[in-house]
A and B are shown apart, each in its own frame.
Chain A
């Protein structure tokens, strides 16, 4: 019988002799539960829930007959995973159609030959058992797969984080920046989704997680920028600045060369974010001088998060601004132009920063 606890057989018949004959046939293999009509049988089904391997059901009975019981079970979604056998002295065509239509597995005419009856019932019960075991196995395996996917996601996130951290450490920073970008990107995405902003309206929590993870990679192109420029305390010369600006393209190039970029949505978001997190709403950004909604909302969000975090952090070339001052500067357009809806969402959450 496998690992399941289904060892009861429910016999429903108003005639005692019929119940006695049936229980005589099955009493060695099953625990027999008897009912005299459909009503009693429903009570037994409730009382022995999850323990009944099969139901042997008579048709003509007082109180509630076999078909009445089948209708009730179907309507109330009771015992739909238990095979039911009609055992009837009236296996007319009409009854057989109705029985099968109501989901019974087999119809056995009285008087029956016990040996055949047993074979027919046992093979269906075995089938149900196997089906249930398979279901358990599949469910178990699905759980394992889910765990593994979690592990792989966690691993790829930490690899991405490590990569991003390495670049930050090189610029003498603590690693806080990428955490801030991650958090702020997530909040802005959620705010825009809640407000029903176009491209963010249909985002799932999983997609938001992927975009936020991708946001951590926005500056990985800086790995290709020489130390002398990256860590220069003073102002960059125009040539140095041009070289510094290359980090957007370099980052995108790195992502593009990653194997399996198409297999993981994080990398397509990362490509876009790396390349376009210095674009501006009015077209004054780089490298592609995208204007307005030519740039994706994701890259625009990371651009804003990047600017805000730079403002409130101390850098080798500047001191930290207060949060209030930073919010004010962004709102007044002192740090470049941003999408009006994005500014609005930013101001909504600015109080909680």
Chain B
């Protein structure tokens, strides 16, 4: 599967993201695939489990940047909401957004795994 075809499964801001990688789809794909081995989500999971708010903020923030650059819009929005929840002291929201983000992440990994 090509990056341009990912849109069939997940919401991807393909054009803008490709431009960020200077129009080089191979580079775009390479960084998408890096997500398969990336540990940030695992660290976020641990932080949620241990109620470590500073770490939740930090890893959600990192994911927000990564999803943003890769054009993975839903993940970007959810992680953004999590950062805001920590900053605004609304801990109950973290519990609501985390499962959503987990679901999105699993979908991403699944689709990226099928890239050429």
Contact = CB atoms under 8 A, between A and B. Distances in A.
Interface of A: 14-18, 20-21, 24-25, 60, 89-90, 110-115
A20 B65 CA distance: 13
B21 A24 contact: yes
A113 B66 contact: no
Contacts of A15: 62, 65-66
Nearest to A90: B61
Given A16-B34, A17-B69, 19 more contacts: A15-B62, A15-B65, A17-B31, A17-B66, A17-B70, A18-B65, A20-B27, A21-B21, A24-B21, A24-B24, A89-B68, A90-B64, A110-B69, A111-B17, A111-B68, A111-B69, A111-B71, A112-B20, A113-B20
A111 B34 contact: no
Contacts of A90: 61, 64, 83
A111 B71 CA distance: 8
A334 to B, nearest CB: 92
Interface of B: 16-17, 19-22, 24, 27, 31, 34, 58, 61-62, 64-66, 68-71, 76, 83
Contacts, number: 51
Nearest to B67: A111
Nearest 3 A/B pairs, CB to CB: A111-B68, A89-B65, A24-B22
A89 B16 contact: no
B31 A115 contact: no
A16 B62 CA distance: 12
B22 A25 contact: yes
23 contacts: A14-B62, A15-B65, A15-B66, A17-B34, A17-B69, A18-B65, A20-B27, A21-B21, A21-B69, A24-B21, A24-B22, A25-B22, A60-B58, A60-B61, A60-B62, A89-B61, A89-B64, A90-B64, A110-B65, A111-B17, A111-B69, A113-B16, A113-B20
